[in-house]
Amino acid sequence: MTDSWATFGADLHVELRGPGLRSGLMDALREAVRTGRLAPGTRLPSSRSLAADLGIARNTVADAYAELVAEGWLTARQGSGTRVARRAAPRPGPGTGVRGGSRGASRGGAQAGPVPVRRPPVRRPAAHTLHPGTPDLGSFPRGEWLKAARRALTSAPHEALGYGEPHGRIELRTVLADYLARARGVYAHPDRIVVCSGFVHGLRLMAQVLRGRQVRDVAVESYGLDIHWNLLTEAGLRTPALPFDEHGTRVGALGRQGAVLMTPAHQFPLGGALPPDRRAEVVDWARRTGALILEDDYDGEFRYDRQPVGALQGLDPERVVYLGTASKSLTPGLRLGWMVLPEALVGDVLAAKGHSEWVSSALDQLTLAEFIRSGAYDRHVRGMRLRYRRRRDQLVAALAERAPDIRVTGIAAGLHAVLELPPGMERSVVQSAAWQGLAVQGLDRFRHPDVPPGRDALVVGYATPTDSAWAGALDALCRALP
Amino acid sequence: MTDSWATFGADLHVELRGPGLRSGLMDALREAVRTGRLAPGTRLPSSRSLAADLGIARNTVADAYAELVAEGWLTARQGSGTRVARRAAPRPGPGTGVRGGSRGASRGGAQAGPVPVRRPPVRRPAAHTLHPGTPDLGSFPRGEWLKAARRALTSAPHEALGYGEPHGRIELRTVLADYLARARGVYAHPDRIVVCSGFVHGLRLMAQVLRGRQVRDVAVESYGLDIHWNLLTEAGLRTPALPFDEHGTRVGALGRQGAVLMTPAHQFPLGGALPPDRRAEVVDWARRTGALILEDDYDGEFRYDRQPVGALQGLDPERVVYLGTASKSLTPGLRLGWMVLPEALVGDVLAAKGHSEWVSSALDQLTLAEFIRSGAYDRHVRGMRLRYRRRRDQLVAALAERAPDIRVTGIAAGLHAVLELPPGMERSVVQSAAWQGLAVQGLDRFRHPDVPPGRDALVVGYATPTDSAWAGALDALCRALP
């Protein structure tokens, strides 16, 4: 421990009182780095010993450290513990080509006190978040992934590292075709798969293709994500909302729209599966009118209480554009998704993708191909299904005990649940959660602007916390409920 | 060796005669797989033994195998050699959700003869290519990269695997700021760096920003890449060409354009550096008119005969948008590039990048950050500089000996050279090269449509072949020259 910690650590106890321990600790550390009170390179005590020292939970310290590492204030390296980041030397002046001082400094022991860089203010994250849409990042199988990367990169031909082709790597498309047929009932073939950097990229490409085909309206569901609606709007498409009843989206209301964007296997965020008669009905509509169905299969792998609902795409591969992603099943950081396209659309989508430099990392594509091929993907999905199911059961049990009036729906599948609230309570519950340091979203957040306000509810992403943060998040949720 | 190879191999000698051995071998193997003559899973002889068997160079066989692996006809796995790919079972019928047979088959020994999938015809690549724009893919430091990936992924906080932020990972921006200041004289700071998926992505973002600011014209150089001009045109921008003389682009001709796209450190493809007075002149123009300079620093690291030319951006970081990439220094397959922006543009570029899902793989960003931080990037660039310089010297020596009338220019830097041809010869030399199995491009290919035809020349990308293919490519080039 260097001297700069010794003097700072002595004061630290005083500054940490009351609620918001973790964010308080983060603020104190940030300020100390910013002002130079903690010198660059200073080694921090282990999370265990600082936690004991401060009389707080070790996870609180570990989480604060991790977040500060992520923000660039601290660095963590195996074997050398957590340290204050050695930030860049004073900015090089224009035209001088001055060497930044950090390389030299990062080797030496003593520092000449490089000027800490003032970063723009960071929005302080809540202590816990139950926002839907992110898997448990702590469960990303780093070791297995690295093994697959080694195998993939060792055996890849040199050519695989080049600019590649707009479809994406053939290795990945080949294993995806097999996997999607097997796991999701998708009629897939490598030639009609186009790799993209996630659902949003795929939707952007489709928006471009639809506009090019003079489509004006893409129907959407009553509840969904504003980023998807906005993307379509920015591409010049209108997004009329379809009505919704207790069985799900009323596809019978579809008319002259050129396409519909749907989550048939697991409505986001309400959680139901589109019933079989409506599946048939929407496909009939598309056939009759020549329209397209954009199927957002964002979490199709995660089903708990019943047989998986296969992809709608299997019903008519020439009318359904299937969009899948590794963002929920593995991690959003991969930025890999896939489209399975009607044969007639492949050319248009490739043209929309552009004439060169096709976005997705070849190394990651090769690694994911090997990860799927070797069976590691199936094992990971199976393991996560059990873990998420356990969390869901813990959520249901905790609510039954501590908030027995709250009905939980949409829990047969996926990574989130809907907690029905008494009328008029949604906003106050979200606020009360914020006071508990819990970020959680109300259903209103997901309501299409055309749809009148209806039920009050929370959309709880129970997959989002890491294992160590889950119990605290669940507790904060229960405390926030009426 | 299975029986299906034994019968096929016996015929193979007969089919391979004359020139184009490699593509002949590839055709024969493709056809045998397509027709089922070589059964899925069949193990092929090693490249060494097949080469000896056929009396041809081992590299010819190895290259043919590698290309067929890349195309998906064969698979190569360490320890189990090269095999005929086990292609998917017959396509699943619509709505059946049939399990594809390939997973089962890929474990069993005997095959029930899955129907080979007919792929669309593949354009047969030339035996050699000297197209500029691609580094030697065989030199990608796979082992060092995997080590960096392991270190990066082991120490990354969980949060680093999430959706991230639109700037790109702070770890990468921090090391880039240091590296670019040190190696390229760029006035860089993590807050003004935005990670993108390569130059084209960065240019697309800038085109959007410029259009949003009511810019109509982006001046370009007389010679460059049509994909860049087309991208700007598709974004609604005109691309008037600046005149060019023996000192380079005549920036004095700049007028009311809102921006100029340039390669000041190493003109692409002609190869000169913009002289100091013109560097000052273009910056003065930008200051005077409020215009922006888009600096394409595609291969700034590779200089041979003189001091590196620093980035123009250092002269005025508020008027120059610096665009760099790992595509030439490491590999295009990474799909990673970076923009260093005037402070006033950061918000606009982030908005153009979109509201979510920011394209670049977090895993690769973390790995590249660690690769740079550990010094491996500097070592790799130094090593490649020596190798490319050696190739350039070999090119110059071979031409001096075998085509002494050809003048070589643009060779002080970069990964390509310009071979000046006698007037009127360009097209016939390109064609004669094609007959030799060599893909090479004439200067005309890089001429802006506004610029009248001028010099006849070849643009030779001497970095493009792998080490094993280099001698053959050079020989084919010399044979094609007048």
The pLDDT of residue A2: 43
A40 and chain B: CB distance < 8 Å anywhere?
Answer: no
Q: Count residue pairs from A and B with Cβ separation < 8 A.
A: 269
CB contact under 8 A, A189 and B88: yes
Restricting to A residues 460-479, those with a Cβ less than 8 Å away from any Cβ of B are: 466
Query: For residues A69 and B216, which has the higher predicted lDDT (pLDDT)?
Result: B216
Query: pLDDT tens, B167-201?
Result: 999 999 999 999 999 999 999 999 999 999 999 99
Residue B152: closest CA among B182, B131, B175, B130: B175
In this prediction, the answer to ipTM > 0.95 reads no
The tokens describing B99, both together, are 């399990």
Residue B10 to residue B32: CA distance in whole angstroms = 13
The pLDDT of residue B218: 98
At residue B461, does pLDDT exceed 80?
A: yes
The pLDDT of residue B170: 94
At residue A284, does pLDDT exceed 80?
A: yes
Q: Which of B72, B163, B182 sits opposite A174 (nearest CB)?
A: B72
Backbone φ and ψ of B364, nearest 5°? -70, -40
Query: For residues B116 and A36, which has the higher predicted lDDT (pLDDT)?
Result: A36
Mutate to test the interface with B, among A47, A158, A165 (most CBs of B within 10 A): A158
At residue B116, does pLDDT exceed 90?
A: no
B423 and chain A: CB distance < 8 Å anywhere?
Answer: no
Query: For residues B354 and B109, which has the higher predicted lDDT (pLDDT)?
Result: B354
Report how far apart, in Å, the C-alpha atoms of B165 and of each of A80, A199, A231, A358 are.
28, 17, 18, 21
Q: Which residues of A touch B137 (CB under 8 A)?
A: 158-159, 161-162
Q: Which of A102, A359, A363 sits opposite B178 (nearest CB)?
A: A102
At residue A141, does pLDDT exceed 90?
A: yes
When pLDDT is averaged across residues B146-152 and rounded to a whole number, the result is 97
Which residues are A321's β-sheet partners?
Answer: A294
The pLDDT of residue B42: 82
CB contact under 8 A, B76 and A157: yes
**How does residue A355 score in pLDDT terms, banded at 50, 70 and 90?**
low
Residue A194 to residue A167: CA distance in whole angstroms = 5
The continuous run of DSSP H or E covering A151 comes out as helix A142-155
Mean pLDDT over the full length of chain B = 85
CB contact under 8 A, B120 and A191: yes
The pLDDT of residue B115: 36
Mutate to test the interface with A, among B124, B361, B366 (most CBs of A within 10 A): B361
Residue B368: closest CA among B113, B209, B195: B195
The pLDDT of residue A4: 65
B158 and chain A: CB distance < 8 Å anywhere?
Answer: yes
Residue A257 to residue A219: CA distance in whole angstroms = 6
The continuous run of DSSP H or E covering A218 comes out as strand A218-219
Restricting to A residues 189-228, those with a Cβ less than 8 Å away from any Cβ of B are: 189-191, 197-201, 204, 227
Helix, strand or coil for residue A245?
strand
The pLDDT of residue B18: 43
Q: Which of A100, A155, A331 sits opposite B78 (nearest CB)?
A: A155
Q: Which of B72, B153, B163 sits opposite A142 (nearest CB)?
A: B153
A287 and chain B: CB distance < 8 Å anywhere?
Answer: no
Q: Which residues of A touch B197 (CB under 8 A)?
A: 197, 357, 359
**How does residue B366 score in pLDDT terms, banded at 50, 70 and 90?**
very high
At residue A91, does pLDDT exceed 90?
A: no
Closest CA–CA distance from residue A317 to any residue of chain B (Å): 7
At residue A120, does pLDDT exceed 60?
A: no
When pLDDT is averaged across residues B320-349 and rounded to a whole number, the result is 96
Q: Which of A227, A230, A363 sits opposite B333 (nearest CB)?
A: A363
Q: Which of A94, A333, A373 sits opposite B361 (nearest CB)?
A: A333
Residue A293 to residue A390: CA distance in whole angstroms = 33
The tokens describing A78, both together, are 């195996």
Residue B259 to residue B264: CA distance in whole angstroms = 14
- Which string of DSSP letters, residue by residue, matches A186-214? ----GGGEEEESSHHHHHHHHHHHHHHTT
The pLDDT of residue B88: 28
Give the Cβ contact number of residue B96 at 10 Å.
12
Mutate to test the interface with B, among A356, A367, A370, A377 (most CBs of B within 10 A): A356
SS (H, E, C) chain B: CCHHHHHHHHHHHHHCCCCCHHHHHHHHHHHHHHCCCCCCCCECCCHHHHHHHHCCCHHHHHHHHHHHHHHCCEEEECCCEEEECCCCCCCCCCCCCCCCCHHHHCCCCCCCCCCCCCCCCCCCCCCEECCCCCCCHHHCCHHHHHHHHHHHHHHCCHHHHCCCCCCCCHHHHHHHHHHHHHHHCCCCCHHHEEEECCHHHHHHHHHHHHHHCCCCEEEECCECCHHHHHHHHHCCCECCECCEECCEECHHHCCCCCEEEECCCCCCCCCCCCCHHHHHHHHHHHHHHCCEEEEECCCCCCECCCCCCCCHHHHCCCCEEEEEECCCCCCHHHCCEEEECCHHHHHHHHHHHCCCCCCCCHHHHHHHHHHHHCCHHHHHHHHHHHHHHHHHHHHHHHHHHHCCCCEEECCCECCEEEEECCCCCHHHHHHHHHHCCEECEEHHHHECCCCCCCCCEEEEECCCCCHHHHHHHHHHHHHHCC
CB contact under 8 A, B357 and A153: no
The pLDDT of residue B6: 58
CB contact under 8 A, B316 and A92: no
Mean pLDDT over the full length of chain A = 85
At residue A13, does pLDDT exceed 70?
A: no
Query: pLDDT tens, A411-454?
Result: 889 999 999 999 999 999 999 898 888 999 999 999 999 999 88
Domains and CATH numbers, chain B: 14-92 (1.10.10.10), 128-137+379-480 (3.90.1150.10), 142-374 (3.40.640.10)
At residue B259, does pLDDT exceed 70?
A: yes
CB contact under 8 A, A357 and B161: no
Residue B217 to residue B238: CA distance in whole angstroms = 5
Quick one: angle between helices A3-15 and A21-34, nearest 10? 140
CB contact under 8 A, A333 and B198: no
At residue A103, does pLDDT exceed 50?
A: no
Q: Which of B102, B149, B334 sits opposite A149 (nearest CB)?
A: B149
Q: What percent of chain A has pLDDT over 70?
A: 84
CB contact under 8 A, B138 and A146: no
Report how far apart, in Å, the C-alpha atoms of A14 and of each of A10, A21, A28, A35, A427 are.
8, 12, 11, 18, 35
CB contact under 8 A, A117 and B189: yes
A150 and chain B: CB distance < 8 Å anywhere?
Answer: yes
Mutate to test the interface with A, among B357, B364, B468 (most CBs of A within 10 A): B357
At residue A369, does pLDDT exceed 60?
A: yes
**DSSP 8-class letter at A55:** T
Query: pLDDT tens, B410-442?
Result: 988 999 999 999 999 999 999 989 888 899 999
A359 and chain B: CB distance < 8 Å anywhere?
Answer: yes
When pLDDT is averaged across residues A2-15 and rounded to a whole number, the result is 54
Task: Calculate the CA B11 to chain-centre distance.
Answer: 38
**How does residue A198 score in pLDDT terms, banded at 50, 70 and 90?**
very high
Query: For residues B15 and A320, which has the higher predicted lDDT (pLDDT)?
Result: A320
Restricting to A residues 100-139, those with a Cβ less than 8 Å away from any Cβ of B are: 100, 102-103, 106, 117, 119-120, 134, 137-138
**DSSP 8-class letter at A91:** P
